[in-house]
Chains A and B, each alone.
Chain A
Amino acid sequence: MIKVDNLQKAFGKVQALSGASFHANDGQIVGLLGPNGAGKTTALRILFGLLQRDQGSVSIDGVDPAVDPIAARKNMGILTDQVGLYERLSTREHLRYFGELHGMKRADIDSATTDVVELLAMQDIIERRATGFSQGQRLKVALARALLHRPRNLLLDEPTRGLDVMSTRALRRALQALRERGCCIIMATHVMQEVSHLCDDVIVIAKGKSVAQGSPAALCEQTGISNLEDAFVSLIGTEEGIAA
């Protein structure tokens, strides 16, 4: 369960966030939509306690990441926009490293590794070192390390980028399974198809503000436009801006 209220953050003169409010319940997949530079990455970084907010409140299962980032991160699985792997470590060693950083025991790591490998269909790369991995394989490792410690909350920045059709389907099934288990998933994305397929709720952010939150159907209803993509464009007001 993630609750964000009136989040504000400025870098010098640039106001990256100027009042974003949204919430994501347990057992829900929530899409975070917004054009480039809308403040999605900044919002996610504040959620996992890497940046300090100027104003507003954040609660992750009742924990404020600004006060206790370690506790907040323990219940969080994170996929950032940059997938950095250690070229000289195998996938299994990656997972072991991050599992240990979360304080997991060796036996737990082993069983959790078996789980995520099956969930993401990555048996072929589990013993290989990361050198020479394709974009999609790298992303799978990054996703696996985010899921390994079975977090209650997931923050995923464009989780489907670079994945082939089979992997995308595997990921979709994985996210649905996690939703069944009661996970709270926030997923920043640009792919409308993913949103309409997966998301129970959609948050629309533009120019550092949250402009709408609701189910895809509710957003279409709100704007009076039947197509989600057109509804999104109308909500962020970009086309009007360009026209003017």
Chain B
Amino acid sequence: MNRFSVIWRKEVIDALRDKRSLMMLALFVFIYPLMMWGVLNTAIQKATKVDRETNEVVVIGASQAPTLMQQLKEQGVTVLERDDMDEAAITALLRERKQAAVIRIPSDFAEKYQALRPSPIELWSDSAADQQSKLKRIEQVLRSYGNSIAQARLLAHGVSPAVLAPVPVQEYDTATSASRSGKIVGAIFGIFFVATFYFCLNLAIDTTAGERERKSLEILLAQPVKPLELIVGKWLAGALLCAVGLSLELIVGHVVLTSMPLEEISLSWRLGLPSLLLLIAVSLPLCLFASAFEIALAMNSKSFKEAQTSVGFALMLPLIPAVVVPMLDLNTQSWMYAVPVLAEQTLMLELAKGNAVPVTAFLTTACVSLGLALLCVAFSSWKLKSEKFVLGV
């Protein structure tokens, strides 16, 4: 049996008997899928609520202006007809915030209209209520109603209605509830891979700084084992824990995401089983990197606590691109595949959208993580040989 596999097996057994390692694993397998479910669920509910919501307006004296009522209905505004109300009653009604506005058509409206005199219409609204977009819609209807009357009257006098609208403005609103929540949701989607660094955290610290604290490192170094074999054994044990954790997390996430109506917020999870397995396979080098990175850091600490602090701080590093870049709302670019964590999450997002991902993206993702992992292992092994390190054990 290889020396490194002896060490690997011992570290795996040791970690499986360590409650802290197992708790960490279980926690992070479920915590991100659950968090994602929470955020996405809120976003979906918000999105579907806006669509369902109707724009209602209370109209007093509706029978006097049937054309206006028709135009309101055409613009998707529901008209609720009421008998006359005084100011206090209108204020009370608006305070309930069920309707954005009250339109009061005075009883002499029809009379003045027939006589071609200015016929005022009252529009009551509560500017403190957050219903500006609905109010704007109603105001637009009223304006175009007035314009259409003016146009008809001008036409009767032989004047072109175009005189009234020398610069017609056409408004377009491209905002959807999905694009507004898209950035946050994208970041939440991506945080998935940050958990990789927590699956093996306990093992990486326990087998380096912990071993030093327990005073078992000196005797281990005095065995007929090369420093490289020692590090490789510990490294692969950590990577195994990561791989198991990440696979479980992705599977749990896959189950959660496929069960949600993501199309409501214009996201999608079009990952079949083959793509999911491919994604897990491509993420394995990230597991190798996470374990190697943490071992290289933790071995410099003299105690478990010290290592927890320093490694915990250093873990902000892979977190930054994973959280910041999705916030910037950039389009997918090839350099993203060269940044660990960001690369895996970009791949996942692309696969989730059902986009074709170039082979080079997979290769870059895997090779960069693997390369960094090997660098960390080389550093750790070199460090283990140094006299300064040996004196500290």
Contact = CB atoms under 8 A, between A and B. Distances in A.
- Do A and B bind? yes
Interface of A: 11, 45, 48-52, 69-71, 73-74, 78, 80, 82-89, 93, 97-98, 100-103, 142, 145
Contacts of A73: 222-224
Contacts of B224: 69-71, 73-74, 101-103
B109 to A, nearest CB: 88
A100 B14 CA distance: 16
B216 A50 contact: no
A101 B225 contact: yes
B136 to A, nearest CB: 67
Contacts of A88: 14, 17-18
B14 A50 contact: no
A84 B211 contact: yes
Interface string B340-354: 000000000000000
A73 B226 CA distance: 11
B214 A86 contact: yes
B390 A84 contact: no
B27 interface: no
B219 A84 contact: yes
Contacts of B83: none
Interface string B201-226: 00000000001001111111111111
Given A88-B14, A100-B6, A102-B224, A50 B215 contact: no
A101 B14 contact: no
Q: Nearest 10 pairs between A and B by C-beta? A: A84-B216, A82-B215, A84-B215, A73-B224, A100-B6, A88-B17, A101-B223, A70-B224, A48-B222, A84-B214
B96 interface: no
A74 B391 CA distance: 22
Contacts of B215: 82-84
22 contacts: A45-B390, A50-B221, A51-B387, A70-B224, A84-B211, A84-B219, A85-B216, A86-B10, A86-B14, A86-B214, A88-B14, A88-B17, A88-B18, A89-B10, A93-B10, A98-B223, A100-B1, A101-B6, A101-B225, A102-B223, A103-B3, A103-B224
A70 B228 CA distance: 13
B219 A80 contact: yes
Interface in B1-48: 1, 3, 6-7, 10, 13-14, 17-18
Interface in B375-393: 387, 390-391
A152 to B, nearest CB: 14
A89 B14 contact: yes
Contacts of B225: 70, 101
A97 B1 CA distance: 12
Contact of B3 (A11, A45, A51, A101): A101
Given A88-B17, A88-B18, A97 B219 contact: no
Nearest to A72: B224
Nearest to A102: B224
Nearest to B10: A97
Contact of B226 (A70, A74, A87, A89): A70
B6 A51 contact: no
Contacts of A51: 387, 390-391
Nearest to A47: B222
A175 B249 CA distance: 54
A14 B289 CA distance: 40
Contacts of B17: 88
A84 B220 CA distance: 9
A171 B36 CA distance: 61
Given A74-B224, A89-B14, A101-B223, A82 B1 contact: no
Contacts of A87: 214
Nearest to A84: B216
Nearest to B233: A101
Contact of A97 (B6, B222, B390): B6
B332 to A, nearest CB: 45
A172 B222 CA distance: 24
A86 B216 contact: yes
Contacts of A49: 222
A52 B218 contact: no
B387 A84 contact: no
A91 to B, nearest CB: 14
Nearest to B3: A101
A59 B180 CA distance: 75
Contacts of B1: 100
A11 B388 CA distance: 9
Interface in B62-87: none
Contacts of B221: 50
Contacts of B211: 84
Contacts of A101: 3, 6-7, 223-225
A98 B223 CA distance: 8
Interface string B270-304: 00000000000000000000000000000000000
Which residue, A50, A69, A83, A89, has most C-beta atoms of chain B within 10 A? Answer: A50
Nearest to A70: B224
Nearest to A48: B222
A50 B222 CA distance: 7
Contacts of A50: 218, 221-222, 390
Interface in B173-229: 211, 214-226
A77 to B, nearest CB: 10
A84 B218 contact: yes
A45 B393 CA distance: 12
A32 B29 CA distance: 55
A84 B217 contact: yes
A243 B292 CA distance: 56
